Chains A and B, each alone.
Chain A
Amino acid sequence: MFTPLTVALAVAALALAVWCGWAAYRDQPTKDWHFIGMAVVSVLALAQLAVGIVRLAGGEDAAEGTVIFVAYLAAVAACVPVVGLISLTERTKWGSLTVAAGAVVLAVLQARLHEIWGGGGGA
């Protein structure tokens, strides 16, 4: 779709996962800085959603089908906000670990998204 953004999002998500995993390892809940990190990742995800929709509207097609592609884009955009909210209700290291897990899932979704758009081949 737009490979630099996909890569950037995957890297940012993994960094967030490591960061929150580190917080969990140190027995800490998510703090303001973590939420700023989550916001950055979420903004990137929303940008990806916008880019994806624009490309579809421009007449291009996802290799594995439009419905699956849009569903993945929506899941990507929702992923970090949802785990962020969960970590607000769970003010222990388990909240941090939940955010880390969500961020890893986001990175995996990026890999799938790349396949779905390009059929495993090109961008």
Chain B
Amino acid sequence: MAPETPPREPRDPGGGPSDSDATARRASNAPARSAGIGKGPGTLLVTLYGIFTVGAASRSAVQLATRFDEAPLAYLLSAAAALVYAFITLSLVRGGERARRAALGCCCVELLGVLTVGTWTLVEPSAFPDATVWSDYGMGYLFIPVILPVTGLLWLRRSRSHGGPAAVGD
């Protein structure tokens, strides 16, 4: 696919219903196929992933530095989650087809992680003396850890099949 393409012009504030089929078709013919994964709804995803990167990274940094022995598994999992979040954030910001695929893969890893760790913490709580970001399916974080990868997957799939941000509109 086309490697780097300039980001699309932001849509006009009042231009809600302008996303006709014609716009979509023109956009899918344009060389810029997925330059917009960090635009529009992607902006919100970037922000949320950014927040979770900072949250998970600082949390695990503090825990690993101060009391690694208490719950090594939980803290290492938090650190792994932070890495996944950081990678997805960067991919979304960079844009382009390769970044989109990388982010797609990472969202799958993330979803698997949340589901596995979530189930694990419920089945065998003794393995986790302290909570991770993904404990109980992210309940301590308003379930955002489980909602985020699903939203991410939907968004990243959609920005491919419709050929760019123009078709995704609102």
- B54 interface contact, C-beta 8 A: yes
Report yes or no: A86 in contact with B16, Cβ–Cβ below 8 A: no
Report yes or no: B47 in contact with A93, Cβ–Cβ below 8 A: no
Q: Please report whether the interface of chain B is mostly helix, strand, loop or mixed according to DSSP.
A: helix
Q: How large is the interface on B (under 10, 10 to 19, 20 to 34, 35 or more residues)?
A: 10 to 19
Cα A109 to Cα B122 in complex, Å, equals 26
Name the residue on B nearest A92 (C-beta).
Answer: B11
State how many angstroms separate the Cβ of B28 from the closest Cβ of chain A: 20
Report yes or no: A67 in contact with B62, Cβ–Cβ below 8 A: yes
Q: Which residues from chain A contact B58 at a C-beta distance below 8 Å?
A: 71
Report yes or no: B47 in contact with A102, Cβ–Cβ below 8 A: yes
Number of A interface residues, CB 8 Å?
Answer: 22
A27-B16, A28-B13, A75-B54 given as contacts; is B40 within 8 A of A94 (CB)?
yes
Q: Which residues from chain B contact A29 at a C-beta distance below 8 Å?
A: 13
Binding site for A on B (CB under 8 A): 10-11, 13, 16, 39-44, 46-48, 51, 54, 58, 62, 142, 170
